[in-house]
Chains A and B, each alone.
Chain A
Amino acid sequence: MKLWSKMIGLSLVAAFVVSALMGCAKQASEAEGTIAKIKKQGKIIAGVKYDLNLFGLKDPASGQVQGLDIDIAKQIAKKVLGDEHAIEFMEVTSKTRIPMLKNGDIDMIVATMTITEERKKEIDFSDVYFTAGQSLLVPVDSTINSIKDLTKDAKVLTAKGSTSAKNVREAVPDAQVMEFENYAEAFTALKAGQGAALTTDNALLYGMAQQDRKFRVLEETFTKEPYGIGVRKGDEEFAKLINETLKELQDNGQYVDIYEKWIGKKPN
């Protein structure tokens, strides 16, 4: 019994030490303001995806991360620091991106993140920079042609921490949703026959279908997914600067170029 209380005591002490340390780190970054922090470190640290074709994909040969998110992020670096190369990319997943932003590991999230009310409680968003819609990726010979074709037994794969799981549960309450660590794993599981369909934003699904022609993306979308750039809660100064950048890119036509370069067509 003595050992019990000793162990519980020790665990609590350990928990509080960790809490205290994390608390300090967090306060430091909040007090400073992101623009000041960026200028001090001489670069923006952007959280981006490394495994998403068309948006943020690391080319194993060159080691460079490429995609629409990357090009947008570089333009923000150019606006803040005058140099589009004054930027460091750090890999995030749907699961890690918000905690990393809050901890100050990254300065902004440019990682195909849908603006939602729930997330707005945790972080602030820029204006919309891309509008996607959730759809399904299915094998070419699948009989599923609409979300309505998903039967009760059908397993739908997606990644943890994304809005996709919630959306598909709302659209098809009976669906069995399996959530994997990231989309690469979910796609591998789909290829292995672990589910009938993979669901997320169509923009990502097109990238997967490009990689493996045995799969196709449904035409139909059942949500609107406005992507925004995530910044720390209350950092209005930085959010405003990002919005100005996005506006300029729209006005001078650069946005259309970037869009076309990756998505293969002009925005609607």
Chain B
Amino acid sequence: MLIQFSVLTEHLDRYLIGLGGTVAASVVSLLASFVLGAMIAVLCITPVKPLQWVGTAYVEFFRNIPLILIAFFVLVGVPLLTGTVLVPFISGLTALTVYTSAFIAEAIRAGIQSVPQGQMEAARSSGLTYLQAMRYVILPQAVRLVIPPLGNQFLNLVKNSSIFTVLSASDLMYQADLINSDTFDTFSTYIFAALFYLILTIPLSFGIRYLERRFPRVKGVEA
């Protein structure tokens, strides 16, 4: 038997500790990267050029380097540069949030900008302020366009949280690594780790599908 169930039963406590770490990391980072990503997206579409540059630079920088480099930078570079040592869990959260928010910003920006220009013009010409037009006209349409790419980002975020292991922060992957070094049964250890990831991601995946059905893309009025 290649898969040893004893690996699971004997180390269930560690798997669960790891699962807890991964859930905590995912939930916190999901919220934080959504807020940060939305803010960066606003920078990207603002009419003020220097702010646009800042937003675009952020997106292009962080989504084009590997997450593991960001993680190391936060773990090692930040203390060396600033003298502040972040505990590994916080380092991991920071890296994951900074990285994911770049993708989320891009998804939100693309969503907002794919709402036709005429919508903004119609709203503004009826006397709505820019923010009112955003709130009542643009964003409700953008949300529907943004749900599928955001869903993908959130799934990626859960999986990417496995970066925590290289920072020695306790997540599912870290605990699996430690279980592996006890059992030497690499195959079983990581098969069970994969199962725990699926327990998290499959419901999430179905949740996203539900939202997509709940908020279908509105058909444009133009051809």
Contacts and interface: CB of A to CB of B under 8 A. Distances in A.
Physical contact A–B (CB less than 8 Å): yes
What 10 A-B pairs come out closest when comparing CB atoms? A161-B181, A178-B168, A19-B2, A192-B79, A192-B76, A99-B186, A122-B184, A193-B85, A98-B184, A193-B79
Contact of B75 (A22, A122, A160, A192): A192
Nearest to B86: A194
Interface string A219-251: 000000000000000000000000000000000
Interface of B: 2-3, 72, 75-77, 79-80, 85, 88, 165-168, 174, 177-178, 180-182, 184, 186-187, 191, 198, 202
B95 to A, nearest CB: 14
A146 B109 CA distance: 56
A261 B157 CA distance: 49
A200 to B, nearest CB: 14
A22 B188 CA distance: 12
15 contacts: A4-B202, A7-B202, A11-B198, A19-B2, A99-B186, A157-B168, A161-B180, A162-B181, A178-B88, A179-B177, A180-B166, A185-B166, A192-B75, A192-B79, A194-B79
Interface string A158-194: 0011100000000000000011110001001101111
A85 interface: no
A19 B177 CA distance: 20
Interface in A115-155: 118-119, 122
Contact of A19 (B3, B76, B174, B182): B3
Interface of A: 4, 7, 11, 15, 19, 22-23, 94-95, 98-99, 102, 118-119, 122, 157, 160-162, 178-181, 185, 188-189, 191-194
A181 B3 CA distance: 25
Contacts of A188: 72, 76
A157 B167 CA distance: 11
Contacts, number: 62
B85 A192 contact: yes
Contacts of B182: 118
A128 to B, nearest CB: 21
Contacts of A119: 184
B85 A160 contact: no
A19 B80 CA distance: 45
A194 B88 contact: yes
Nearest to B87: A194
A193 B83 CA distance: 9
B177 A160 contact: yes
Contact of B181 (A22, A95, A102, A178): A95
Contacts of A181: 165-166
Contacts of B181: 94-95, 160-162
Contact of A194 (B85, B166, B187, B202): B85
